């Protein structure tokens, strides 16, 4: 079931960078994955724009969306960089803090009860994780270090038949950073994943074999 106009409106009103057509593709993948009854997991939450879509799919299926973010902003969101938003800086500590805005986003969308928000760094959380998930959405830091750690940390937790979704995949370096593209290629070259769909920079892959 596609998102309702209210959910789409909440998505468009939320701070973030994902365009609507990619969001619809994410929601479609999340809806399919949620039918397994397994949690849907997002790495890189920012202010919760994409979380709305995962949570809505989880709500419809009676499962849960889990988000993982340290909420201090990725490298390109720091002062002096292209995607910096000064309204998200905590005036007390002088650092980015997207957690309050994220919580307001979920409240406005009426989806707080369908999300578990983990505040921490992705590799640390992945090392302690024990539950299989039906979907892994990687949209965290875009350096090779961070993208690789997210892929290596979370791909092994994806259940057979589950979906790996990677955002900001740009084959042409002129269009964007290459780290997400490199983990996308790595997933395909591993033989453990097959491609399901391409929607601009959003790639959906299905786990068809063990390994990562």
Catalytic residue list:
142
| Neighbouring residues of 96: CB distance < 8 A, sequence distance ≥ 6 | 71, 72, 73, 77, 78, 88, 89, 90
Residues 183/120/24/110 CA torsion (nearest 10 deg): 170
Q: Is 96 helix (H, G, I), strand (E, B) or coil?
A: strand
Give me the phi and psi of 62, to 5 degrees please: 75, 25
Q: Residue 100's closest CA among 199, 91, 36, 207?
A: 91
- Within 10 A of 156 (CB to CB), how many other CB atoms are there? 16
Closest to 51 measured CA to CA, from 97, 96, 95, 110: 110
Q: Which of 212, 156, 202, 208 is nearest to 29 (CA)?
A: 202
């Amino acid at each position: 079931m596609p998102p309702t106009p209210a959910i789409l409106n909440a998505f468009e009103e939320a701070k973030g960078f994902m365009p609507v057509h990619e969001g619809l593709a994410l929601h479609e993948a999340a809806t399919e994955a949620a039918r397994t009854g397994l949690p849907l997991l997002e790495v890189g939450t920012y202010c919760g724009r994409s979380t709305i879509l995962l949570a809505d799919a989880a709500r419809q299926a009676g499962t849960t969306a889990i988000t993982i973010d340290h909420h201090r902003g990725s490298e390109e969101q720091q002062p002096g960089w292209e995607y910096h938003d000064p309204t998200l800086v905590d005036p007390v500590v002088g650092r980015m803090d997207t957690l309050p805005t994220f919580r307001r986003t979920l409240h406005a969308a009426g989806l707080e009860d369908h999300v578990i928000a983990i505040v921490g760094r992705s590799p640390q959380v992945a090392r302690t994780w024990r539950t299989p998930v039906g979907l892994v959405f990687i949209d965290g830091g875009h350096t090779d270090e961070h993208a690789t750690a997210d892929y290596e940390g979370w791909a092994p937790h994806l259940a057979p038949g589950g979906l790996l979704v990677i955002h900001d995949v740009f084959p042409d370096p002129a269009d964007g950073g290459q780290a997400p593209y490199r983990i996308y290629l790595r997933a395909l070259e591993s033989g453990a994943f097959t491609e399901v769909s391409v929607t601009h920079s959003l790639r959906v892959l299905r786990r068809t074999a063990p390994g990562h």
